Structures are given as C-alpha cells and as structure tokens.
Structure 1
C-alpha cells in the first residue's frame, strides 16, 4: 500500500506539466480552416528547448492530439509544435503550430475542436485535468460576405502576483475582422470547456467587455489556473458569438518581502502596448526591449516573450549607467508563409520573481516588395549580388529616377549609381529606412511619414 501511494505520488509529480495554451482558427478555402494553437509545458518533463532549438526551427513532438468533438469526430493532428519561447528559471517551454483541416458540411456549420489530458501543476483550486474547447462557425457572414476569422490572444504561460497586492491583468486580444471582442470564464455546462479548472480564481473579477482581470491576492499563495473563452461579435449588444476561442494560463501567488510598488516596469520602448509594427517577408525585424527594476536593491533577471516562430531573443545585458536597467534584442526574419498578423508580448521578471505588466503589439508581415534588396544576417553583404546590379539599373533609369533601395535590414539601405553599382549604407542609430519617403526616420515612425 505504501509503495503504491509513493508510486501514485511520483506519477502525479511527473505528470504535472501542463502550463496552458490557446486554440484559434481562420478560414482558407471552401470548408477548410487553418487551426493555430500554442501550448506550454514544464520543460523538464520532456519539452526541452533552447536558443538553438528555436533558430534551427526544430519541430518538437509535443503530446496528445487535437480532436474534433462537434460537427465531426476526427483526430485532427498530434500536438507537435515549434518552440518559440522558454524559461530556464521557471522551467517552461512554449511553442506554436498550425494545420489546415478540411471540414465536411454540416446542418449548422458549427464545429468544435479541443485538447484534453492530464495534468496541471498542483493547484490551490480545481483539479488536475485540462480541457480546451474552441468553436468555429463556417457560415458566410451577411455583413462581410466572408467566413469569419476567430479572435486571437497571447499570454505568458506563468503570470506572477504578489500576495497582499491588488493586480490588474489585461488580456490582449486582436481580431482581423474588426469585430467586438469579449472575454468570459470558460464553463463546465452545457458543454465542458475547462475540465478541472472552471472559474478557479475565487475573488477575481473579469470585465468581459474590456477583457481585464482584477484580483486582490489575499486568498492563498500557490498556483491557480485561469480558463477563459475569447469571443467575437458583430455588435456590442449581440449575445451569440461568431466563434469562441479557448485561452488558459497559470497564475502564481507568492508571499514576498518587498512592497507592492517594487515590481519591475517597462519604460518607453519602440514596441509599445497596442502598437502595430509592419515588416515584410524575408526582411529582418530587429528591436531592443528595455526593462527597469522597481527598486535600487532589485535587478531584472529576464525579459520573457511570447513570440512568432523563428524569432530569436538575445541574452540579457545591462543598459545605460543607472544600474537598474537591462535589455534584450529580438530578431526575426519572417517567411512568406508568415504573411499576416502576429501578436508579440513581453514581460520583465526580477530576482524575486516579480513581473511587470505585459506589453503586447501586433506585428504585421506584408508581401516582400519587389525592389527590396536581401542582405545577409549581419547586414553587411548582399545575399544575391547578381540581382543588385539589375535592381539598381532599373531604379536609376526609371521615371522618376530612384537612387535608393530598401533592404531586408530595417536600418540599412542601398545607394545606387547609374552604372548599376550598389553600396550598403547604415542609418544613424535610433533610425530606420523608410522607403516611401526615401530617407531614414525615427524607428517605428515610417507609417506616419509623408
């Protein structure tokens, strides 16, 4: 009996590895949808990831499968994923993947798919089983004449709260159709959307219209799971959503000695909360993120991110001379398959485990302009030198004549002469090339120039 109890406890410990995720979707062709999912697991439970895993684009096997549970009854795919982010300190790995799936016609065009298994980390409230459910409606909308696309969101796998403090957590949401987006608690009935973690953050309040969660952390320290449905509506007064997206993550409440005002914070960065930044396929996106400790005795130890596939984050370095600021640099060269919108979020963590508010921006990947010159990863050489001569000749003999070309590196441009020779030129620090005004402008301001 004792051995059986020890074995059961050991199994529970090894299985307590789920850290949440999200499942969203968008239409592609007739009755085909692209399902996008992000999952997070305890890294030491067979989900190891590092910078090389991300840079090499290694597909991790994941675990379990995505099932269609309403409108069809298939196994859609195994939950393999590309690692995008990890934390060695908090022992988690997060990643994403997508799959195109053909749906058979049904009487109401409603389909529900989800991901279920065991186990969450031991929780203060709720039980260990997880269940995620996302609903898609493939009926052509009367207002747009198109099939709906679901809203999307992004959250860190682990959000940290300090015991005894008031906390406000903004759930980032985005919708390609421009719909009204609301958030609600996932429900056990009539259709179980949340397994063992339905409304398990007692004492919290969720503003459904603004998707803001407030919580006075005075209940108990420990782990809590949050299970939400993100839903889109044509009008604020509508009660039936176009779609319902499952979002789940963890909150850890810790009893710390520092005051509630000692959390790290994020000074003004190029990537600000709610901002929209444009890039192009095969063009290098490169920005720095600065974080500041909440007290002189504390230090920033990490800047955690929720990233698109292929984004590389540098090591953490000191910034400036204050002794309280640190930074990382994120670099991303999106592929043509990534054309569209991506949510990118980041959070600062200090040496006590306190976290800043999460900042989220929308990264829009556009088609690669035909006149863009592709540079190498270091931005100091042409990737295809033979094409530069042709592009320079076309530009300098056209009407009007153009002597400058954009490159795949945002802070560099090519200066051409009429002989077809191109020279790589770097913009001044803090500026980037803006092709439609043919000059360098302050980073992030190109969209408003001209």
Structure 2
C-alpha cells in the first residue's frame, strides 16, 4: 500500500508525506521482536520512481526501505511501515511506481510486480488538500478450498470521502497480477461500492490480487481524487479434518471501532481470540501493525481454556495524526484462519489540518473509544 497527503500546505513547494506498507518473504528480511522495539531494523530495497515525470518533472520520490513492524515465521512473512516527505508544486498530477520481481509461485500468473499510486496536489473547493485513503489488508489470508468467502477490503479515509475499490488492469499498476491476466474462479466478484470481494477457491495454492481504492469529491462526482493500490495474497489449502469453524475475535474492543488518543499517549488493550474447533489450539496471529505498535505473546485465558489473549500497546505521536489501522486474525492448529478484525487508532491534535475531525477554531474532539455508529 502506498498513500499520501499534503503535510505542509503553506510551504512552496508543498511538503507531501507518503505512507507505505510492504510485506516480504521472511527469509529475505528476518526480523525479531527486539528489532521492532528498537525501531532501527530496516526491510526492503529499491525506490519509488516516476515513470513519466508528469507535471512535476520528478524522477524518484523516495525509497521503499521501511522499519520492520511485524513478522510471522509460521506464515513466512515480514512487514514494515514507514513515512517519508518529498516536495512538489501545488496542482501537480503524476504517477509514482515501485516495480521489481518476482512473485513466489502462484496458481495463476505472477512473475514481475508493480505497485503504482497517483500524486495529486490540487486544492479542493473547500480550500484544503485531499488526504488519500489508507488501505490495510493482512499479508496472507488463508482459505479452505471450495467454501465461498466475502473478503473485506479495509479502508480508512481521513476526509470521510466516498470511496470505491476496483481491479487493476495496467502493467504499470500490477505487472504480472493484473485482473485480465488472472484465471480466477468464475464466481469471483468485487463489489466496488462496499469494497467486498467474493471468492470461492477451487485450486490449492497461492493467489495474488491487485486492487486500487479511489476516493471522490462528493457522492455524485466521477473523477477520482486519488488512487491507492493494495496487493495481497490468498493461501488456499485442503484438509481431511471436517471442522472448519474459524478462530473468533471476542476482545474487549469491538471490531471496526475507533480509539481516539493524543500524541504521546500510550494505550493498552487486551484482545481475545476463541478457538471453536474441538482439540484445536491457537498457533499464530497474522497481523499488520502500524509503527509504534507492539504486542505480547499470546496466553491462555485462565477462565476459558478455549480462549487466548494477548496484550497490545500503541503510542501516538505527531507523525501519526489521523487514522491508523491495526488488523489481525488468529490461525488454529488445523489451519483455520479467522476473519480479519481491524481497529482504528486515530491520533488527534486540536486545530491541526491533518486531524481527521478538524474544524476551523475547534476546541473539542473525541477521546477514547468511539462507536462506528456515532454521528455527533
């Protein structure tokens, strides 16, 4: 995922902040909990380039090297998140891409990869620059062969704009995993408005999918304000074990809720996952973690032996103003994976234009847990 926002609207040229998340094969960039805590172990290589230069005449906007923020040795991935700032004039419009090779062995197509985003710095009618959406997907989603799954694309928009999800189909955006090149099950369907992918796998192995999220000025406008790419993998497997009930999230914080905090504030949560299949145990947690996030090892709930708990800690800082998504799922000992659960951690600063609830001359904004149904 590569997204962006104008961080300093008074500078000339503008200061544009890019937020990126990448996941790699663990054997390429092995990472440890100690290295995550230290924050100095970097993963990834190469740069985000501007193939045509567009209206800015920029050739490179930054590197894809980011601090390691999470890993899972059982699922063999390591992930990281980072931010960098570059400068462009106002009203710039151009594409930036990260491309290389190669995908691991996939059921359909693969080979080279490419991830492209659009940098657009025009001023909106209300006098502010657009903040592109943030998209978060688990690095790997494990699926049984044959059942039909509804996979949610997790999106947060700090401007609360309307957004849609679409397939990618140009080589610069998706290289070897564009939709036109993939032989997917005929029942595969992407609901663009709700950002939910219906998928019924029939072949064992790994699939890689490439989508982009578009946001819009209002409910009727058609030209998108931004293009935010997301690519993720599905691991389809088969088993003779008949129980397919997935691990279930039953934590204290309801799924999809927003927790508001200020810079420098530390929050602690206890998250619980219940194993539903008899004689199965929790073996791992697949997660995608924002920078500044740490968690304890999982432990058995003393009051319910089918439930495992783990503590998570997050500290907000000035670089994280706005919404930060933390998504995770449990995997049991017979390879069932639970649905992804996402929590929104929104760092707020009064009278900061990057504040997701900013209003000119605002003196109050929410703190603590806020329901996703709250409207005032």
Which residue in the other structure is 1:76 paired with? Answer: 61
Mapped to 2, the partners of 1:445 and 1:139 lie a distance apart of: 32
Whether 1:129 and 2:109 are equivalent positions in the alignment is no
Whether 1:25 and 2:10 are equivalent positions in the alignment is no
1:240 alignment partner, SS class: coil
Contact 1:115 1:132 in 2 (8 A): yes
Report the RMSD for the aligned CA atoms in angstroms. 2.2
What TM-score, normalized to structure 2?
0.87
Mapped to 1, the partners of 2:140 and 2:43 lie a distance apart of: 22
Which structure features the higher share of helix residues? 1
Q: How does 1:170-189 map to 2 (within 5 A)?
A: 170-188=152-170
Q: How does 1:24-423 map to 2 (within 5 A)?
A: 24-29=3-8, 30=11, 31-45=14-28, 47-70=29-52, 71=54, 72-104=57-89, 109-142=92-125, 144-188=126-170, 192-199=172-179, 200=182, 202-203=184-185, 204-218=188-202, 220-259=203-242, 261-267=244-250, 269-367=251-349
1:126 alignment partner, SS class: coil
Contact 2:164 2:214 in 1 (8 A): yes
Which residue in the other structure is 1:402 paired with? Answer: none
Q: How far apart are residue 271 of structure 1 and its match?
A: 2.8
Closer/same/farther in 2, CA of residues 138 and 354 from structure 1, 3 Å limit: same
Q: How far apart are residue 155 of structure 1 and its match?
A: 0.9
Which residue in the other structure is 1:412 paired with? Answer: none
Q: How far apart are residue 56 of structure 1 and its match?
A: 0.5
Q: How far apart are residue 77 of structure 1 and its match?
A: 1.9
The count of residues paired between Structure 1 and Structure 2 equals: 346
Structure 1, unmatched stretches of 5+, are: 1-21, 369-435, 437-442
Q: How far apart are residue 62 of structure 1 and its match?
A: 1.8
Contact 1:59 1:80 in 2 (8 A): no
Q: How far apart are residue 202 of structure 1 and its match?
A: 1.0
What TM-score, normalized to structure 1?
0.73
Q: How far apart are residue 367 of structure 1 and its match?
A: 4.0
Mapped to 2, the partners of 1:229 and 1:151 lie a distance apart of: 10
**CA-to-partner distance for each residue in 1:72-112, whole Å, 9 max, x for gaps?**
3412222211111110111110001111111246xx63121
**CA-to-partner distance for each residue in 1:325-367, whole Å, 9 max, x for gaps?**
1111111222333233211111111112221111112101234
Mapped to 2, the partners of 1:312 and 1:73 lie a distance apart of: 36
Mapped to 2, the partners of 1:75 and 1:275 lie a distance apart of: 37
1:274 alignment partner, SS class: coil
Q: How far apart are residue 51 of structure 1 and its match?
A: 0.8
2:36 alignment partner, SS class: helix
1:44 alignment partner, SS class: coil
Whose radius of gyration is greater, 1 or 2? Answer: 1
1:192 alignment partner, SS class: helix
Contact 1:136 1:242 in 2 (8 A): no
Contact 1:291 1:303 in 2 (8 A): no
Structure 2, unmatched stretches of 5+, are: 351-363
Higher relative contact order (CA closer than 8 Å, sequence separation 6+):
2
**More deviation in 92-101 or 291-300?**
291-300
Mapped to 2, the partners of 1:135 and 1:338 lie a distance apart of: 21
Contact 2:164 2:195 in 1 (8 A): yes
